[in-house]
Structures are given as structure tokens and as C-alpha cells.
Amino acid sequence: MATQFGCVKTVFPVATINRRVSHCETPLLFPCRIGYASRVSHAPLVGVRVSCCSNKERESGVVLEKWEETEKSYTCVMKFGGSSVANANRIREVANLILSFPHENPIIVLSAMGKTTNLLLLAGEKAVSCGVTNANCIDELSNIKDLHLRTVEELGVDREVISKHLEELEQLLKGIAMMKELTPRTQDYLVSFGECMSTRIFAAYLNKIGIKARQYDAFELGVITTDDFTNADILEATYPAVAKRLHSDWVSDPAIPIITGFLGKARKSCAVTTLGRGGSDLTATTIGKALGLPEIQVWKDVDGVLTCDPNLCPQAKPVPFLTFDEAAELAYFGAQVLHPQSMRPAREGDIPVRVKNSYNPTAPGTLITKTRDMSKALLTSIVLKRNVTMLDIVSTRMLGQFGFLAKVFSIFEDLGISVDVVATSEVSISLTLDPSKLWSRELIQQELDYVVEELEKISRVKLLKNRSIISLIGNVQKSSLILEKAFQVLRSLGVTVQMISQGASKVNISLVVNDNEAEECVKALHNTFFESELSELENECIPENGSVPALS
């Protein structure tokens, strides 16, 4: 018997289908184990797909539904992070997971394998000072080679798919050693090798097992960005370019696209750029919007978006439903499960985003949509952002005057420093500086000194380091109750809140405390809001917690 997957005909015995199937009102997450394909065909034949029964009278078995190949096109984006493809065994499991959705024609977006991006950055930093003759002996380079060569060997894939990239990587490190400099532009090119190799390995493996796949580098696919190396923004020209390329390739030669996440091409210089840490999520939502797909799936190593960082609170629970606004606030204020900018394309295209666990695919995960039922919601999640610098700016010139805030923020604009949280009164401003835009750069203390020097020309300034932002993401209509309970907890701990701000999104309340008090505060707040009668999630049926039913 044959099944149609991505317009590729594969043959497997009926007995290999696991018949434990859920009904259509829940996601089709059954572990349908498709055996390795024995042949590939591109003939326009009628295929079959596996689904659950359409009514209760026929729930004794699996129904095989027919559909014409010509009616099928891309149906979703599936993005997998580095931990999901960390080694050969994980790559096999991800391939089987993809094959367990024979009703889908997915576009696959991949991150680099495991910690490859970190290793590449460390290798680049060492190359600056190690000397040309020692560049090929950098430990991180050896680790990268060992991981990727071992992976292709275990998967039975020809090592030629990555040998050219490994050679180019070694030459690049020698070039960095010769120049004794690692510029942001070179750094972006350096880290691009991770995604370029992981996607080639994965595509080669799918082709090996009989599922036709085609690898794409995002910077050649049409992902066009600004020239802001290490943290580029995707430009509007990307959407028609990506849609045109993927559509034309599908029509001429159908195959599953395997696309590099995190990467793009600079509009002016045409150099490789990166989208910032976690940028593969943004790649996935951008492609989903470009093609107008019905769903974007982000596969992680946790059971969706959680009520707190599980490293801080092991009792953290999955949040079944989120709005785009809530997800964006969570990502911006430190939740590692999503990229801060990734929600924008999905929101603009009104495309649901489902966050799932590749290690536990039957877990419901989190569904992110434009709206959800907030009538029973109190607090959605607690996020901690550490290593924050806070500035208190006081000036009587603010009183009844205009243009003062413009002067303050122009100083930060000149230095390219992003501001996180702002609170104002008649004669003062308190604000925090985004550590992701500050502490990764050189000459930090000099820049801070310059900021203080410039601000002191128009105000009195106090600079406070080692602060943390605790963000309470929840229902603003119940913010009074949230603040009442939060301050009860903090008062019991003897903690003083140094700044409080409610975001313009109306779903976030941020509290600034000392770094050394933050972890204890988060644990106590989580216990109050999620491990007691206040919990939004406790004793509730998941479908009642959102406005969109689970999608099949």
C-alpha cells in the first residue's frame, strides 16, 4: 500500500501503521510509524492518507482517505531547534516525527545542531589571537568536525554533503587569525556554517530513506534583511521573493523544503546576516506569512510555553493558549522558548503558532493566536531578565516642558542602546537598558560613562547595576489583584521594588529588584499564582482556556 507524503509516493506495509488514533477535534499527534520508503515516484497518482474516523459509528479503525496530488500544496511550517537535531539519533526521531503527519506537506526550518553556534563563536574568538598556524587546531573546530562527520556516518549519508563547508570553515578561521579581527560581518558568515550543514545533512537523510527533500540556504531563498550584522531585521521584500521561489520549485519538482533558520542576505552588501539569537523562529513565521499557511509549528525541547523557567521553578506548567501580544512580551522579557520578533509576521498574517516538544510530541503544547478567552485568566507566566542596568534621571526641567524625553532618548539612539522598561513622573524618569543589546558589546563601561556624562548636562543621574526585571504576563483587567498579591509576596520576603511599569501592550507588569533577590521572588510568586487557588490553569479544561480549538 502506498501513502502520499509531500507529493512523494512511498511504500510501506499496512501493519506498520499504529492504529491508536485520536478524533479530529484534537491534533493528529498519534505516533503513526511510517517505515522507510522503498521507492520514490513523481507520477500524478491518487494517494491516500491516514486519519481518524469521521463519526462515532466508525471509530473501530483507521479510515484511508483519497485525495488528488494536484490539490495538495504546502500546509504548514515545522521549525526544529538545535537540541531537536543535536545528533544522529535525534535527526532520525525528527524525521520520523515529520513522517507521522502524512496529511501534511510541511516546510522544514532547522537550527544548527546542538551547541554548534556557540562553538563557532568561541572558535572565532580564539582565532583572533591564536595565530594562522594554530587555527586548524582550535578545540571548538575539532568538536564541530567530529560532531558533523560522526552524524553523517551514523546516518549513512555521504560526507560530501558537508566536506566543502568544513574545509571553508577552516579557511575562514585562518583568515580571521591572519587579520587578527572578527568583525560583525565576518561573525555572521562564520556562524552561518551551523545551519548550512545541519540542513544539508537532514535533507540528505530524508532523500536516503526515500522522501524527496530539497535544501535551501535562506540567504539564497529570498530572505532579505537590513545590514545590521548579528541582529538584522527582515525586510518586506522577503515575502514575495520567498513565496515565488518556493511555489515555482513546488510546481516544477515537488519536494520537502529544508531551510536554514536564523540567516538572511543583507540588502545593500548582499552579505550573509543573522537575525539574532533564536532567529530560526522568525524565519519560520516569515515563511508562514509569505505563503499564507494555516499553521506554524515551533518544535522545542519543552512542553510548550511554560508558566516560568523550569530551571527556576521545576513545578512550571505548560500554558495551553496565548495571544500574540502575550507571546511577544514573554519573548522580549526573557522567555527562551520564542524569539522576540517572531510573533510579528504570524500576527500580521493571522496565522496560529503552535509550540510543541519534539521529545514529547503527544503533549498538547501551546497554541498562540490573535485572541483568546481571558474571562478566567489571571496570570499567564512569570519571566525573569537578569543583569539589567537601571538609570534614575531627575530634573525639574521636565516640569511643564516639552522635548525633554526626546533629548534623553536621543542619547541612547546615538549609541544604539535599547531601553527595556520606562517609568516617568513629573520630574523624573527611571529606565532599564536591554542587556542583550548592551553587555555583548565591547567598550561597555566607556559607553555607560558617556551616557551618564551626557545626561548629567540636563539632569541628575544615578546608575544602578545588577538589577533584574520580573515580568508578570497576564490579564490587565485584573491587574489590581495581580499587584495586590505580588506585593504581599514581596513584602513577606522583605524585598523592595525599585521600579514598576505597565507595558503599552496591556498584558505585562514589570517589577525591578536586586539581582540577588530575584530568584527567590520568582519562586515565591510562582508558588502564589500557579501552585494555589489563584492558578489560571488549575482545575480547568484546556479548550475553555482559549478562543481557538485545537487544529488538526
Task: Tally the residues of the chain.
Answer: 552
Whether 254 has a pLDDT exceeding 60, the answer reads yes
Q: Give the per-residue pLDDT at 417.
A: 81
Whether 107 has a pLDDT exceeding 70, the answer reads yes
d(CA 444, CA 65): 62
d(CA 281, CA 315): 26
- The HSE-up count of residue 296 (CA atoms within 13 Å, CB side) is 31
Whether 43 has a pLDDT exceeding 60, the answer reads no
Q: Which ranges constitute the DSSP H helices of 367-421? A: 404-415
- Tens-place pLDDT, residues 172-210: 999 999 999 999 999 999 999 999 999 999 999 999 999
- Tens-place pLDDT, residues 369-386: 998 877 777 889 999 999
pLDDT-based confidence at 505, cuts 50/70/90?
Answer: low
d(CA 77, CA 74): 8
Q: Give the per-residue pLDDT at 436.
A: 59
Whether 502 has a pLDDT exceeding 70, the answer reads yes
pLDDT-based confidence at 535, cuts 50/70/90?
Answer: low
Query: What nine digits make up the cell of 432?
Result: 532599564
Report the pLDDT averaged over residues 233-240.
Answer: 97
Q: What are phi and psi of 271, to 5 degrees?
A: -85, 160
d(CA 419, CA 433): 5
Q: Give the per-residue pLDDT at 542.
A: 39
Residue 259 near residue 280 (C-beta atoms within 8 A): no
CB atoms within 10 A of CB 458: 15
Q: Give the per-residue pLDDT at 115.
A: 95
Give all domains of the chain, ordered by start, each with its CATH number.
2-72 (no CATH), 77-294 (3.40.1160.10)
- Tens-place pLDDT, residues 443-488: 477 778 888 898 998 889 999 989 999 999 987 777 788 889 999 9
Helices (H) and strands (E) in the chain, counts: 14, 21
pLDDT-based confidence at 504, cuts 50/70/90?
Answer: low
d(CA 51, CA 404): 63
Whether 367 has a pLDDT exceeding 90, the answer reads yes
- Mean of the per-residue pLDDT values of the chain: 82
- Tens-place pLDDT, residues 416-434: 788 888 988 888 899 998 7
Q: Give the per-residue pLDDT at 23.
A: 33
In the chain the first and final C-alpha atoms are separated, in Å, by 24
Whether 526 has a pLDDT exceeding 90, the answer reads yes
pTM value is 0.79
